[in-house]
Amino acid sequence: MTTNPPRRALITGASSGIGEAFARELASHGIALVLTARRTDRLEQLAAELRSRHGVEATVAPLDLARPDAVEALVAALDNQHLPIDILINNAGYGVPGYFDESPWQTHADFIQVLMTAPTELSHRLLPGMKARGYGRIVNVASLAGHIPGSAGHTLYGASKAYLIRFSQSLALETLGTGVNVTALCPGFTYSEFHDVSGSRQLVSQMPKFMWMDAPTVVRQGWQAVEAGKAVYVNGRVNGLIKSLFKLMPDALALRLVEKQGRKFRMGGH
């Protein structure tokens, strides 16, 4: 009797935070993993732990998604190693602090490549195989920031997350009936290294504790959402309420509120 091979997931930004939590969650379900990020040592340590704890196959693929050829090279390597991807977690991301014109263009170009172009290209290259096999899951880790007006500073962050939300909605409709589910996961403030990397740790630490969620909870909810076929999922009641309130507000009022709060905090973000 033959047995079907385990599902395999590709997780970007897997070395910490929500990406690492996704690796742990999926490994607990017996799903094979391909882990990619820039920090090879962190990836190898995580892969070894998950192999030992769950007995899953875990492949490490160190990669800088800011390189324009990174996705093409990664997918070619997966094809050469006969590692079909059934589950794509587009999680890699970071923030660029400061006002738009204070950073060189290359900094913004790299940001757009990592947070918008790479997840779009990965989805485009991996989706045909998912459809052909009649099963696929794509989770685009967006943010509550994609549902509210943009704020001063971190200029492209909210815009990139709004893009991922709309992209996910369209792709979810296009894949109806194919066995492929697509979800934009929209956490708010999540305990991770994100705010250390973006330089906003001191500011966001002033936020009340009820605004925060832990990465494993965000991931469990996200996995349940994509399995249920939800095109967009906002984590937590507080974040859901914030999204609803901003949706009901007149645009001018919402923008003024974000401008006032943005002096102290960058709203949303994982």
Active centre residues (catalytic): 157
Q: Which residues contact 257 (CB under 8 A, 6 or more apart)?
A: 249
**Collapsing DSSP states into helix, strand and coil, what is residue 174?**
helix
Using alpha carbons, list the distances in angstroms from residue 181 to 40, 52, 144, 146, 227. 30, 30, 21, 20, 7
Alpha-carbon distance 218 to 185, whole Å?
9
Q: 233 φ, ψ to 5°?
A: -135, 120
Which helix (H) or strand (E) segment holds residue 185: the answer is strand 180-186
